[in-house]
Structure 1
Amino acid sequence: MDTNEVTIHHIAEILGINSSTVSRALNNSPRVTQKTKDKVLKKATELGYQRNHLASNLRKSKTFTLGVIVPRISRHFFASAIAGIEETAFKAGYNVIICQSLESLEREQSIINTLLANRVDGVLISISMETKNYDHLKGLKQRSIPFVFFDRHCNISGNSKVVIDDFDAAFKATEHLIKKKSTEIAHFSGPQNLEIYKNRFLGYKAALEKYSVPFREELVITSSLMEHDGAENVKKMLALPYKVDGLFCANDVVAIGAIQYLKSVHVKIPEDIAIVGFSNETTSSVIEPALTTINQSGLEIGNVATSLLLQKISNESKKNSNETIIVKTNLIERKSSLRKV
């Protein structure tokens, strides 16, 4: 017999018991004796019986599946977050569908539709750089599919999110440069429609203000924060009539691109320009000089965000709650900013 065709009816016929008893035994029902359970499980294993989890779950109106949308799986932070998500989901008996938007709003919208078609029980999302229209996310709310933002989020009513304090982290990064005697500090920022980059910019600006360091609008250069943007941004920065001696980057990737270009034009780091990045990518510790950065635990954020989503799924009263959980960060000091003062 083909193991794919083995049903509870076959097991029942062979054992001489009714199908409902077999079903209860396989579902560990207290209405069936342990002796019968053992007999049914043994026979099911012998026959290679495989439960149709999808059909079983649909009868319960649940698929025990979570959708996860990240901008790029290749980024260390998102890879770590996914590890945390899968760890927590697996312990709770959930499967995970992982998708990447590749920073495209259109792709993100398409993914949401696909996840809805697959009847996911909830969604974890870190939005793309292009996401300025939130109709697809409001569609989740209309379908009563709970979702939780992690890291990148947007302000729509009744949303829950797990984030870091981007303002405070950026303030500390900029303050570190000021304490290393930087007096003209540039900022390589990300798109300001994203709350995380807006808050990192505001933290940078607040630190300058606190220590009476001049804020110059021209020294804030916005890009999509890819490695090649690091070189392009540095060219723009060096063309300005200021002797920049400090640089705070909104992520490590653009900071690494900046370091590589500055070295190619013989600018010394940190002696001429001290640099701080953000997110502690794996390459940050191996580049020369090693990059000072803000460490944010993707693993912890993934764990916490999944726990919050599972609460929403299992508790109807929490489904539309508006909850924000802030995960702590810390500054890791490395050679790129350790100028003698």
Structure 2
Amino acid sequence: MENNKITIHDIARILKIDSSTVSRALNDSDRVTQKTKDKILAKAQELGYQRNHLASNLRKSKTYTLGVIVPRISRHLFSSAIAGVEETAYKMGYNVIICQSLEQLERERNIVGTLLANRVDGVLLSVSMETINYDHLQGLKQRNIPFVFFDRHCNISDNSNVLIDDYQAGFDATEHLIGQGCKHIVHFSGPQNLEIYKNRLKGYLSALQIYDIEFRKDLIIESRLMEIDGVENAKLLLELPYKIDGIFSANDIAAIGAMQYLKQQGIRIPEDIAVVGFSNEPISALIEPSLTTIDQPGFKIGKTATTLLISQIHEGATKMKSETIILKPNLIERKSSLRKFESGNY
């Protein structure tokens, strides 16, 4: 008898008792005496019996499984967030299915369908750059499956989010460049269909206004913020009719691409152009000069989002309320933005 084919019926036959009694014992039912439970559990262990948790959970209409959708697992923020998700889910008795959309709406839509087919109890979602409509999330709502956006969210009603204060982060990054003497600051923005990039742009604009620095529309360059986009953005800013002295990039990857290109052109960083990125990718501390950036607490975001989602699962559809938790950003100052003034001070 192979171990992986042992059933409660095999245990019942060997012990000469009813299968129903074996089932109750394995489920720790009060209807079975402790002596009988001990005997059944000992025999089950001896035979190598393994419970079919999926079938058991489905009978209870719960799978104790969470779906997680991120744009790219390779990004430090998302890998850190996943670590926070998994640690929290494991402690609370849940398994995790991790999927990546690769920034594609169609792939994201298909993943949601797959998670629905696998009867997950809830979904944690950071939307793709292509996500401009949310029809694919209606299936979750119709089945009363709670979902929580983290980092990237959608502007739809009755949804829950765990975010950082992107507006404040954009303001802090721009204010830092202004404090370093920058007057002509380019903003590398992400797609404006995403709320996070809208809010980072708003923070940038607000800082310019408060410090009475003229706003120029051509200083906002929108892209998908890949490394190649940073290179192309840097080429564009060098063609502008005025001397650019600062860059605030809505992510580190595009900032690093721009820095590499500018250095090849003989432009000094930060003396000629100071640069601030966003997300604190591990490489940002290793490049030369090291990149000033906004730190996003990915692990904390993952833990917080998972705790919120599981609390909504436990509350059930009738009591579930939307909630938004906003975490504070942190500016990490490094060499890329600390300019040398004529006085010799940074």
Question: TM-score, length-normalised on structure 1?
Answer: 0.97
Corresponding residue of 2:24: 24
Structure 2 spans left out of the alignment, 5+ residues: 342-346
Q: How many matched pairs? A: 341
Secondary structure of 1:188's match? strand
The correspondence of residues 128-143 of structure 1 with structure 2, limited to 5 A, is: 128-143=128-143
Structure 1 spans left out of the alignment, 5+ residues: none
Compute the displacement of 1:32 (Å).
3.2
Contact 2:187 2:221 in 1 (8 A): yes
1:183 aligns with 2:193: no
The correspondence of residues 59-138 of structure 1 with structure 2, limited to 5 A, is: 59-138=59-138
Contact 2:144 2:317 in 1 (8 A): no
Q: Partners of 2:151 and 2:36 in 1: how far apart? A: 50
Corresponding residue of 2:252: 252
Secondary structure of 2:325's match? strand
Corresponding residue of 2:316: 316
Q: Partners of 1:185 and 1:123 in 2: how far apart? A: 39
Corresponding residue of 1:335: 335
Question: RMSD across aligned C-alpha pairs, in angstroms?
Answer: 1.2
Q: Partners of 2:246 and 2:318 in 1: how far apart? A: 45
Corresponding residue of 1:217: 217
Corresponding residue of 1:171: 171
Q: Partners of 1:6 and 1:152 in 2: how far apart? A: 46
Corresponding residue of 1:197: 197
Q: Partners of 2:226 and 2:73 in 1: how far apart? A: 14
Runs of 4+ in 1 over 6 A off after TM superposition: none
User: In percent, how many aligned pairs have the same letter?
Assistant: 70
Secondary structure of 1:340's match? coil
Secondary structure of 2:218's match? helix
Compute the displacement of 1:95 (Å).
1.0
Question: TM-score, length-normalised on structure 2?
Answer: 0.96
Compute the displacement of 1:318 (Å).
6.5
Q: Deviations over 1:296-330 (max 9, x none)?
A: 11100011101111011110257642210011221
Secondary structure of 2:14's match? helix
Change (3 A) 1:275 1:309: same
Compute the displacement of 1:115 (Å).
0.7
Q: Partners of 1:88 and 1:158 in 2: how far apart? A: 24
Letter of the structure 1 residue corresponding to residue 163 of structure 2: V
Q: Deviations over 1:269-321 (max 9, x none)?
A: 01001110001001110011110000011100011101111011110257642
Contact 2:168 2:329 in 1 (8 A): no
Compute the displacement of 1:179 (Å).
0.5
Change (3 A) 1:148 1:318: farther
Change (3 A) 1:246 1:302: same
Q: Partners of 1:319 and 1:67 in 2: how far apart? A: 21
Q: Partners of 1:34 and 1:71 in 2: how far apart? A: 50
Corresponding residue of 2:236: 236
Change (3 A) 1:19 1:109: same
Secondary structure of 2:12's match? helix
Compute the displacement of 1:69 (Å).
0.5
Secondary structure of 1:86's match? helix
